[in-house]
Structure 1
Amino acid sequence: MSTSTKRRPVIITVAVAAAMISCVLLIQCETNPTSTSSSTDSHAHIDPLDPVGASPEAVAINAITIIHSWRPSHDNAPWQALHRATALLTHPIVQAASTPPNPPPRPIPEWDGWARSRDQLSAAVTILEPATLTGATATVPVRLAQIVLHPDGLTTPWRTTTLRVELARDGDIWRVGSYTTVAVSR
């Protein structure tokens, strides 16, 4: 038996032992962290849509984005997008989001074509000015750009709208109460 053949079991044993020690140390570090750092980089999950502690601007962006992002091949009407935003809404708009309108509003002319071609509409919202705060209410002017996303990856701008978003504060949560269209351009 050569010297290299005699060393092979020793090398394999050492490699296996090293791997086991590494696994044990890794498990120990995962289950018993010893860091005393006061850093906030905990890698905790942060939900960007959670309105708790969010600014009125952040809530306005999130709510208007959800309300105006549409899936015509899955949704019967834009109301379903409004309904998806319910957690970010308050009186009076939350009531409109809770029950489909009856009778339904006039349909968007392009809706059926988007549904047939499986297009989706994505909303991008930009804050035009910082929120104006008055007690427990805020007004945020925003620009909403809706873009048609085609299944082949191409996009088509559809509509740009300027909105005035009204919010109300309940504790540490801002919620959208209404929004008004200021201007529309295609």
Structure 2
Amino acid sequence: MDAHPGMAQRTANQEPDARPRVRGCVVLYLDFDGVLHPEDVWRRPGYGPYVATPPGHVVFEHAALLARCLDPYPELRIVLSTSWVRVFRSVRKVARRLPPELRRRVVGATFHGRMDPVWFQSVPRGVQVWGDVCRRRPSAWIALDDDDAGWPAVCRAHLVHTDPVLGISAPAVLAELQTRLAALRGPENGWP
């Protein structure tokens, strides 16, 4: 289902004063659950986030794999599209959970403090990402997410749909990610 045309406009213009500090670069929109680890993640007070099922998995188990995939693209920046930013109320706190190779690439999140959290949570992830694309105006972008429901048609070609358990480690997903990253390279996107 495509978003109502006015929905993307509202997302883009909801916070007219909320222009991102970093604009115009090549961006990877990064979800965590179902991308860097299985999607069934819970938070226990005093313990923190953990993978509930399937057993034998840990949070951020594929973060090093993503860092290796991004290594040939030092110009690429990360915008966090994960619900963790709303839960922990800070891009910095969430970014600190990533390995340094990924953390230094983080330039923001699709959610920011001037947004209405209830409204933001009520729209599909693709609409959240599209709102940031409209504000940030990246020269090129892709999104890693296990949730493909409700993505606007204009965004579908940018989505790398991950496996909810294997995340980016699923062979077909990893191959697609590498192909998409290579396709972003070029002077038209600000990359040499």
Instruction: Report which of the two has the higher share of strand.
Output: 1
* TM tier, smaller: under 0.3
| TM-score (normalizing by structure 1) | 0.25
Rg bigger for which structure? 1
| TM-score (normalizing by structure 2) | 0.24
